[in-house]
Amino acid sequence: MLTRHVSGQLAAYIDGQLEASSTRAVEAHLEACQRCRVELDEIRFASGLVRRLTITPAPATIWPALEAALTSPRHGAWWPVWRVPVWAPAVVVLTVIGVGAYWYSTRTPAAWEIQRSGQGGVARMAAGEWIETTAGSRATITVGDIGTVAVEPGSRVGLGVARPAEYRISLAYGTISAKISAPPRLFFVETPTSTVVDLGCAYTMHVDDEGAGELRVTEGWASLEWNGRESLVPAGARGLTRPGAGPGTPYFEDAPPRLQEAAASFDFANGGGEALNVILAESRVRDTLTLWHLMSRVDADDRARVFDRIAELTPPPATVSREKAIALDSATLKHWREELAWTW
């Protein structure tokens, strides 16, 4: 297995340009390295966006205009055509990004398209309509051109808005599996206790008859949001949500069982200090995901304990101030999360 990160080989790996031995080595490394798996997802996501762009020939009139602009007087001197300003490449890049963003935000989304198991053809449905599957049926929802949602048996899903900057459905009960390839915060799933916000990922969301939910992310990231409370859930992690409480503290599915039980007790059963003690004791390096979320959820007197446990597992960078983190400075916590995420 490779002992170093394989960032420099990921693009060639995705394009199938590596030799067989190198491909096997990269795949073996990816199985054990969360950091490189995250980079792999990011490269795939970016390449997917690039493939969406269409090449449109520039009008012939643009070249004389550029030549005139580059050869116009500047501070009393003339700029030769061949003397392109150093900022020109940046302008080109920003222009391409701007055009791409404009295209993405103004394109006309496809209508909701639904395909039911055992039925031929595709049905078109509008916002406000509902999809219900029986114990022996399934359905697939096409989310514009950004992904699909599989509706499992025994589920009820409502169709909401479908527009360039927002696709929204609701899950009253049952199970859905979503796979979305798009910029963050374009696809939303409303549930009775939280909103699932897609951050470019694949996930399964289950809601029971009482409204309790469970989010399991298999690729990328998603978040659970409710009344200003947010839980970020990366691949391999789980987030619970309950009526009246909203999203709980996320944890990895391979976390110690006692930690998982304590997290649920802390969030939904008034576990308090006893549950926190178990979480602190059971946490591994990877469980800083859970501890980071707890920083803003424990009592002020316990924040120092949580900070110190995270620092013991993964020393914070010099740019993360203990004082500011304990004071819940938003910029500090965000920067700290971005550093910790390499271990998630």
pLDDT tens readout for residues 31-67: 777 667 767 766 765 665 555 455 555 555 554 554 5
> What pLDDT, on a 0 to 100 scale, did the predictor assign at position 96?
44
Enter the DSSP assignment of 61.
T
Counts of helices then strands in the chain (DSSP H, E)? 11, 16
Give the burial class of 190: count Cβ atoms within 10 A of its Cβ; 0-12 exposed, 13-18 middle, 19 or more buried: middle
How far, in Å, CA of 180 to CA of 205, rounded?
A: 14
pLDDT in tens, 242-270: 999 999 999 999 999 999 999 999 999 99
pLDDT above 70 covers a percentage of the chain that reads: 78
Residue 220, phi-psi category: left (phi > 0), alpha (psi -120 to 50), beta (remainder): left
Q: What is the mean pLDDT of the chain?
A: 84
Handedness of CA 35, 340, 224, 281 (dihedral sign): positive
Rg from Cα positions in the chain: 24
Per-residue confidence at 185, pLDDT binned at 50, 70, 90?
A: very high
Enter the DSSP assignment of 208.
-
Q: At what angle do helices 20-32 and 34-52 cross, to 10 degrees?
A: 120
How far, in Å, CA of 166 to CA of 158, rounded?
A: 15
The Cβ of residue 7 has, within 10 Å, a number of other Cβ atoms equal to: 12
Alpha carbon 4 to chain centroid, angstroms: 25
> What is the mean predicted confidence (pLDDT) over 176-185?
95
Task: Render 329-343 in DSSP notation, one character per residue.
Answer: -HHHHHHHHHHHGGG
How far, in Å, CA of 290 to CA of 196, rounded?
A: 18
Which backbone phi and psi does 329 adopt, to 5 degrees? -65, 120
> What pLDDT, on a 0 to 100 scale, did the predictor assign at position 101?
46
Beta bridge partners of 320: none
- Asked if residues 336 and 328 have their Cβ atoms less than 8 Å apart, the reply is no
pLDDT above 90 covers a percentage of the chain that reads: 65
How far, in Å, CA of 344 to CA of 342, rounded?
A: 6
User: Coil, helix or strand for 307?
Assistant: helix
Enter the DSSP assignment of 318.
T
Which H helix or E strand runs over 219?
strand 213-226
Higher pLDDT, 50 or 168: 168
How far, in Å, CA of 49 to CA of 181, rounded?
A: 8
One-letter amino acid for residue 181 of the chain: S
pLDDT(106) > 60? no
Tell the residue number behind the tokens 């926190």, with chain if given.
276
pLDDT(73) > 60? no
Beta bridge partners of 73: 78
This prediction has a pTM of 0.69
Enter the DSSP assignment of 35.
H
- Candidates 296, 295, 260; CA nearest to 275 is 260
pLDDT in tens, 203-229: 999 999 999 999 999 999 999 999 999
- Asked if residues 216 and 234 have their Cβ atoms less than 8 Å apart, the reply is no
pLDDT in tens, 272-305: 999 999 999 999 999 999 999 999 999 999 999 9
pLDDT(327) > 60? yes
Task: Render 245-284 in DSSP notation, one character per residue.
Answer: TEE---EETTS-HHHHHHHHHHHHS--HHHHHHHHHHH--
Q: How many CA atoms lie within 13 A of 110 on its CB side?
A: 14
pLDDT(154) > 60? yes
